[in-house]
Structure 1
Amino acid sequence: MAPGVAGVRERSIGWRVIAAKEVADHLLSTRFAVLLLLVALAAVGSVYAASGGIREIAERAQEAPSLFLQVFTAAPERVPSFLTLVGFLAPLLGVAFGFDAVNGERAQRTLPRLVAQPIRRDDVINGKFVGGLAVIVAVLTALTLIVAGLGIVRLGITPTADEAGRLLAWLVLTAVYVGFWLAFATLWSVVLRRAATSALVSISVWLVLTLFTGFLVGLVADAVAPVPDSPTVEEVLRNARVQQWLGRLSPAVLYEEATVVLLNPQIRTVGIVLPRQVDQAIPSPLPLDQSLLVVWPQIVGLAALCVVCFAAAYVLFMRQEIRA
């Protein structure tokens, strides 16, 4: 075999070897088992709690729009919906699989041995990211199929082609969203030497962007576009627009907006809607392609954030000195 062909072959399989190693390590780890059990119990519990209310809706209106999707979006009393739980807990999978991707190998003194193998140095970080993302996508896919199966068995409702397409689009969107958190945690595992520190930073940022975005955005919006005691409509709208644009700096907000539109065809926009616009709107569900057009900026934004974080981790890792 020619030397050039051999080099290309080694480069094409190097990251696959690392990815396969990462998949095996994750699947056999206690961390994976605990997180999988937590997410699965929360998801299945929310579906069981919501199934009673969905059955009542189905009995009252056999032609209720997108009834099958309500298995994922319905929120009974005191129990969040499956959609809310996944949006809150799924980033933990990305953080858990990425916070020690590089510094964990460095702490165990196995990183020099990895880069000493007949593979390219970038295959290490590429394989680690692909392996972690593959496990996360497999978990999300299995969880979605289990929830869909429970909905079919308990409610006797089968999804239409449009509903199945929406679920597939949502699954891809969720994989991109969790991929961002995996890339973000991997970035800190490259920058910081201690795995505990990178985990703390990643979880802290996740909590701020998930739980406190609304509070922080409200404070900034009130300072930039204050609303007086007797406000005009324009002043209220200006404050609301500032809150909306600032909120979209958070990947959690982008994911939430895209998810709501994809899994609820009745929603036609993610912007600010005035009462007169609601009265003039035609009450008909959007087809899947139109829903994708509505949230295309959010999808592109999440993908861009994921690419930027991984590119930063890649560049920093390639420039680091690795000593035996």
Structure 2
Amino acid sequence: MRSAGLRVIAGKEFNDHLRSRKFHLIFGIFLVIAAVGLISGAVEYQKQIDDYNSMQQAAQDDGFMEKSYYSWKPTILSAFTEMSMLMTTIGVILGIAMGFDLITKEKESRSLKILLSHPIYRDEVINGKALGGVAAIALAMGIMLVLSLAVILLFGIVPDFEEIVRMLLFGVLSFLLVFSFFAIALFMSTVAKDSGSAIIYTLIVMIVLSSLLPVFTYGSVYTAVFGQPPEPPESDMMYFSGQGTTVVSRAVEIVDGEGMPEPVVDEAWQEYEEKSRAYWERRQAVGEAVSLLSPTNNYQRLAYAVTNPGMARMMLSSSSYSVVEMEDEIPQEGFSALFSLLGEMATNIAALIITPALFFGLAWVRFMREDVR
């Protein structure tokens, strides 16, 4: 049967990954750092619980604190927020190391021609190599989650059902991130002539997607492309800004006498505010569109939503030119808060899924057209 060749190749690649020294080294470093991070997170969690209890006692006489960020109940998931930073470095390197030489090593050893001379289809080769790598990545993420749960239980912290679900979602997101760069490395392995070139190409793509693209939306780079923000008009009027925290939107004439002067509309300032708001909204829209191309950016935002929904909600509100009023009910816990956040980040979810699918599709097409001599 045709699927027999696929199973053989996938099984061989899976075993090769598990026996690979580079896999052992990088994954070992990853587990050690993850364990240290979780231990530190568990200790910090115990401290946060004590602080939370103290603030709850103080909040009984202060209605403002009852809905403030500092009164949100601590959770062990905050340790996974720190671990997400680890995934964007060591995890990404793990995915690259597993995929950059899958095809080039066959070219360099001239075994690809011998392999394709057997009664086996080309798509079975590329699909089998990808499945073997995906299985190894899934095993690595599974070991990470089991180790994380063991460390948490060791400190006497028993997660509830919601926290377990969030941990599983964190594992799925981490898998998609590592798989994204594995797929990029696999594509470069089909394009490059040797493993050295493949890893250089992959690192260049990683730097562009993870570092250079976000920089495009900030500072002088954006300004050079889209121009300077609107300049405020000159005026001899004084402007009231409440307690110094609200945006100036009105101008008033300076008049002598007692009492507050009556505000009058300054058309020049109205026009400035409209242009300024349009400029910054356009800048934000461009920034969000560009950031969707970065798997690490999508992963970090989604990981924040899973592990720290309260802070993620505040970040979303601040990035959309809206103010989170303290009298508004802010989702703090429960699946409703989780689903609400993930719904607002649907584009990030789609981008994190499309990226590995796109690069694997490119690798598949390139390998199917490979001229093997």
TM-score (norm 1): 0.86
Indicate yes or no: 2:285 matched with 1:241. yes
CA distance in 2: counterparts of 1:242 and 1:311, whole angstroms: 27
Structure 1 moving runs of 4+ over 4 Å: 228-233
CA distance in 2: counterparts of 1:227 and 1:15, whole angstroms: 57
CA distance in 2: counterparts of 1:13 and 1:249, whole angstroms: 37
**2:138 equivalent in structure 1:** 137
CA distance in 1: counterparts of 2:5 and 2:158, whole angstroms: 43
Q: CA deviation at 1:196?
A: 0.3
**1:188 equivalent in structure 2:** 188
Equivalent residue for 2:300, pick from 242, 245, 256: 256
Map 1:46-195 onto structure 2 (within 5 A). 46-61=37-52, 65=73, 67-73=75-81, 81-154=82-155, 156-195=156-195
Map 1:264-303 onto structure 2 (within 5 A). 264-266=308-310, 267-268=312-313, 270=316, 272-274=319-321, 276-279=323-326, 281-285=328-332, 287=335, 288-303=338-353
Quickly say closer, same or farther: Cα 1:245–1:152, change in 2 above 3 A. Answer: same
Quickly say closer, same or farther: Cα 1:111–1:280, change in 2 above 3 A. Answer: farther
Q: CA deviation at 1:147?
A: 1.9
Fraction of identical pairs, as percent:
26
CA distance in 2: counterparts of 1:322 and 1:137, whole angstroms: 31
**1:35 equivalent in structure 2:** 26
Quickly say closer, same or farther: Cα 1:275–1:312, change in 2 above 3 A. Answer: closer
**1:227 equivalent in structure 2:** 229
CA distance in 2: counterparts of 1:276 and 1:183, whole angstroms: 40
CA distance in 1: counterparts of 2:41 and 2:341, whole angstroms: 25
CA distance in 2: counterparts of 1:162 and 1:20, whole angstroms: 35
CA distance in 1: counterparts of 2:85 and 2:222, whole angstroms: 25
Q: CA deviation at 1:299?
A: 1.4
Query: Structure 1 stretch 180-189 or stretch 249-258: which is displaced more?
Result: 249-258
Q: CA deviation at 1:23?
A: 1.1
CA distance in 2: counterparts of 1:315 and 1:208, whole angstroms: 23
Q: How many residues are matched?
A: 306
SS in 2 for 1:114: helix
Q: CA deviation at 1:198?
A: 0.7
CA distance in 2: counterparts of 1:247 and 1:292, whole angstroms: 17
Alignment deviations for residues 158-210 of structure 1 (CA, whole Å, 9 cap, x no partner)? 11111111121221122122212111111111111111011011012212322
Quickly say closer, same or farther: Cα 1:226–1:281, change in 2 above 3 A. Answer: farther
Quickly say closer, same or farther: Cα 1:212–1:278, change in 2 above 3 A. Answer: farther
The letter for the 2-side match of 1:170 is F
Quickly say closer, same or farther: Cα 1:275–1:298, change in 2 above 3 A. Answer: closer
Quickly say closer, same or farther: Cα 1:275–1:300, change in 2 above 3 A. Answer: closer
Alignment check: 8 A CA contact 2:48 2:74 kept = no
Alignment RMSD: 2.3
The letter for the 2-side match of 1:166 is R
TM-score (norm 2): 0.75
The letter for the 1-side match of 2:79 is V
Q: CA deviation at 1:275?
A: 5.4
The letter for the 1-side match of 2:299 is Y
Q: Where in structure 2 are there 5+ consecutive unaligned residues?
A: 57-71, 233-271
Equivalent residue for 1:20, pick from 11, 22, 32: 11
CA distance in 1: counterparts of 2:140 and 2:285, whole angstroms: 37
The letter for the 2-side match of 1:49 is S
CA distance in 1: counterparts of 2:194 and 2:29, whole angstroms: 26
SS in 1 for 2:323: helix
Alignment check: 8 A CA contact 1:258 1:295 kept = yes
CA distance in 1: counterparts of 2:325 and 2:212, whole angstroms: 30
CA distance in 1: counterparts of 2:367 and 2:4, whole angstroms: 20
The letter for the 2-side match of 1:284 is P
Q: CA deviation at 1:280?
A: 5.7
Indicate yes or no: 2:199 matched with 1:199. yes
SS in 2 for 1:48: helix
SS in 2 for 1:249: coil
Query: Structure 1 stretch 231-240 or stretch 10-19: which is displaced more?
Result: 231-240
Q: CA deviation at 1:150?
A: 1.0
